[in-house]
Structure 1
């Protein structure tokens, strides 16, 4: 964006910073940025909510945008506006709130720009691509008074809310260990040569804050997760859901005393940069979080049920027993004989709509404390993933200054560089 264009955008943002005041019966006009797999899920979810209206879509890929527009038309009977640049959508005064379903490296800047334009934001997980970006997101959300919900939808599922409440009430005694399991089978991505940018794709806007590089199909669409420029590996993809639940179950723990993470990309010889096998331990003194990513063939652990070929969930261990939580429900085992004392099943229904409904309610109440996964909650859960990745990448255990959210001691100088990045103008966070 040119200097003059940026001035115009900021001027429009300032003029609209108070946003549209919603009445109790008003529908919230939603714009969705990023119409890939998750973006299409957002279209389907908002279409089920009576107090939401999808009025605009944005994607840097014209073909994806057109598919999304057709989907909205089919589901709602209305034709949403279409944009190739999110800044144009944010300047649309018909939009009250936006959903950000872009790749990870865009989450923070998209949220910041949207808040500055007077929009409330539902941002997919992980909240941020690095620790610095999360700090900026919280700062801007509070300064502008916008509602920012992170897509940790477990926080709005009744059975998981009940499970966490029981943990806090002492159902298994004092909890000393929380485990997050991301046992999600991932195939090899193979190899691909660079090629010309496909027609209808704005590659510059796709890369945004990331370094400019030639187009490569493996760095586009879903596989961007497995490259450090744009993704955070599976610990920051599926794993951040289980990291959030682990942190929640331990009473919203924040930065640990130390972190150590090991692993690697095993078996495959392909272009993926992030590990497909990773183990991380976060030391909190009287308790710890242990997180594990297994992207290859594996069995399960504890009570976590197999779903779609994957074992994904959480285990909590306490003085009097243990609890397992997964996508089917939760179970509580007590005593040395591990007697099953509770077996709660998930109620029917999709996971995302209740979380979106909570977001829309906060758009009306104007109180961020009504959000089940306010930006500060989502950022902290993402930050633990970033700490683990930093330890993995520098190859050592790291001490953490919990007050500053930065590493300290041996290895800190190198590791702290991974908690921010060099930004490509004008996409600076």
Structure 2
């Protein structure tokens, strides 16, 4: 969540005012993530997948077959997609190092943009994307789907209303039992930190964005340690981490302790992801929506009952509500940039082996 000092996004021009019967969407990148996103797009009323684009022929053919009911055109060059004047919106699901370049080009081509996270992998290029997105009248929404999680939104709202008093600390993690498949379809870029931004940027941007949301602030400084601890140079040439621990201090004083590992042994308790939020009057387990008061006279309680969540469908639906109805954007360029820069700040603190400040990073939002 961004403070009031930050510049607001320019007013958007919803397509609802235009005499157009359907929206025509293009999918740029249809690998595992892109093809999954495409299925959700195909379920949105009034939206047609009119184009699919990928540089890998097998992925392109598979996506075209999956979207056959929408009769999409196929492309291997995303610039040819953007040149099509009848394309209204694009979904970009490519390797992370291509996100800024493609998103800027799409906005400048007059397309609404749904960009998979992260917004970018370095501070300078994210600054350029911020400038273009804020000057555009088209919708830009980042694929940080937890911003559309109904139960999470309700719990965080309660925290902001003062349920646990003043928030003072957050403890969060993202733990799994194994590494990404070393011979999988994304291995050609995932293990290369210059392409993925490293695991903290490629994956934990989701988790750190939620921490920003809870804190209602952005980090002022970070410090941490990490590396390829279990799989050094495996696969050969690997440059990303498989485990790290980080500490952040926010502008408003909130402290954050965060870890990500790929070697949390199966069966050992405490795996998966969580956010524990500590306040002056109590604590919240965000994932379970449970409130634990500090007072001995009060009992723990469930804040919000469980809800059925279809995150991709909800988030993509929110994107098209922004486009057609001018609805409030749950994950705009400010959310996108600050989330990615939070992850980059942590990564660079680890790489440089020092406490690093937001100002030293050169972040611009």
Tell me the TM-score normalised to structure 2 length. 0.87
The alpha-carbon deviation at position 222 of structure 1 amounts to: 4.5
Kindly indicate whether the alpha-carbon contact (under 8 Å) linking 1:28 and 1:96 is maintained by their aligned counterparts in 2.
Answer: yes
Q: Render the CA deviation track for 1:14-43: whole Å, top value 9, x for unaligned.
A: xxxx99776487332110111111101111
Tell me the TM-score normalised to structure 1 length. 0.75
SS in 2 for 1:113: helix
The alpha-carbon deviation at position 144 of structure 1 amounts to: 2.4
Kindly indicate whether the alpha-carbon contact (under 8 Å) linking 1:324 and 1:330 is maintained by their aligned counterparts in 2.
Answer: yes
SS in 1 for 2:51: strand
| Residue 317 in structure 1 maps to residue 283 in structure 2 | no
- Evaluate the alpha carbon distance shift between residue 359 and residue 365 of structure 1 in structure 2; reply closer, same or farther with a 3 A threshold: same
SS in 1 for 2:292: strand
Kindly indicate whether the alpha-carbon contact (under 8 Å) linking 1:279 and 1:293 is maintained by their aligned counterparts in 2.
Answer: yes
- Counterpart among 268, 275, 280 of residue 241 in structure 2: 275
- Mapped partners of 1:67, 1:59: distance in 2: 11
- Mapped partners of 1:399, 1:357: distance in 2: 36
Report the counterpart of residue 307 of structure 1 in structure 2: none
- Mapped partners of 2:170, 2:346: distance in 1: 15
Kindly indicate whether the alpha-carbon contact (under 8 Å) linking 2:156 and 2:214 is maintained by their aligned counterparts in 1.
Answer: yes
| Residue 376 in structure 1 maps to residue 334 in structure 2 | yes
Report the counterpart of residue 169 of structure 2 in structure 1: 177
Structure 2 unmatched ranges of 5 or more: 1-12
Report the counterpart of residue 354 of structure 1 in structure 2: 314
- Evaluate the alpha carbon distance shift between residue 181 and residue 168 of structure 1 in structure 2; reply closer, same or farther with a 3 A threshold: same
Q: Render the CA deviation track for 1:235-289: whole Å, top value 9, x for unaligned.
A: 22331111111100111x1241x21021121122413211111111111262112
- Mapped partners of 2:158, 2:123: distance in 1: 31
- Counterpart among 42, 45, 65 of residue 40 in structure 2: 45
- Mapped partners of 1:292, 1:332: distance in 2: 23
- Counterpart among 144, 154, 177 of residue 146 in structure 2: 154
- Counterpart among 128, 136, 141 of residue 136 in structure 1: 128
The alpha-carbon deviation at position 343 of structure 1 amounts to: 5.1
Kindly indicate whether the alpha-carbon contact (under 8 Å) linking 1:126 and 1:237 is maintained by their aligned counterparts in 2.
Answer: yes
| Residue 59 in structure 1 maps to residue 59 in structure 2 | no
Kindly indicate whether the alpha-carbon contact (under 8 Å) linking 1:262 and 1:279 is maintained by their aligned counterparts in 2.
Answer: yes
- Mapped partners of 1:325, 1:222: distance in 2: 32
- Evaluate the alpha carbon distance shift between residue 235 and residue 366 of structure 1 in structure 2; reply closer, same or farther with a 3 A threshold: same
| Residue 254 in structure 1 maps to residue 218 in structure 2 | yes
- Counterpart among 71, 76, 80 of residue 88 in structure 1: 80
- Mapped partners of 2:26, 2:322: distance in 1: 17
Report the counterpart of residue 301 of structure 2 in structure 1: 341
- Mapped partners of 1:230, 1:148: distance in 2: 22
- Mapped partners of 1:153, 1:137: distance in 2: 20
Q: For residues 417-428 of structure 1, what are the structure 2 equivalents within 5 Å?
A: none
Q: Render the CA deviation track for 1:120-143: whole Å, top value 9, x for unaligned.
A: 100011111111122111211122
- Evaluate the alpha carbon distance shift between residue 20 and residue 90 of structure 1 in structure 2; reply closer, same or farther with a 3 A threshold: farther
Q: For residues 235-246 of structure 1, what are the structure 2 equivalents within 5 Å?
A: 235-246=200-211
SS in 2 for 1:344: coil
- Mapped partners of 2:306, 2:239: distance in 1: 36
- Mapped partners of 2:25, 2:332: distance in 1: 18
| Residue 387 in structure 1 maps to residue 348 in structure 2 | no
Structure 1 stretches of at least 4 aligned residues deviating more than 3 Å after TM superposition: 18-26, 298-301, 336-339, 343-346
| Residue 102 in structure 1 maps to residue 60 in structure 2 | no
SS in 2 for 1:35: coil
- Mapped partners of 2:44, 2:258: distance in 1: 35
| Residue 289 in structure 1 maps to residue 256 in structure 2 | yes
- Counterpart among 358, 364, 369 of residue 324 in structure 2: 364
Q: Render the CA deviation track for 1:211-246: whole Å, top value 9, x for unaligned.
A: xxxxxx77x624522211201222223311111111
- Counterpart among 27, 31, 36 of residue 36 in structure 1: 31
Report the counterpart of residue 413 of structure 1 in structure 2: none
SS in 2 for 1:49: coil
Report the counterpart of residue 397 of structure 1 in structure 2: 355
| Residue 331 in structure 1 maps to residue 290 in structure 2 | yes
Alignment root-mean-square deviation, CA = 2.4
Which structure carries more relative contact order (alpha carbon 8 Å, separation 6+)?
Answer: 2
- Mapped partners of 1:222, 1:71: distance in 2: 24
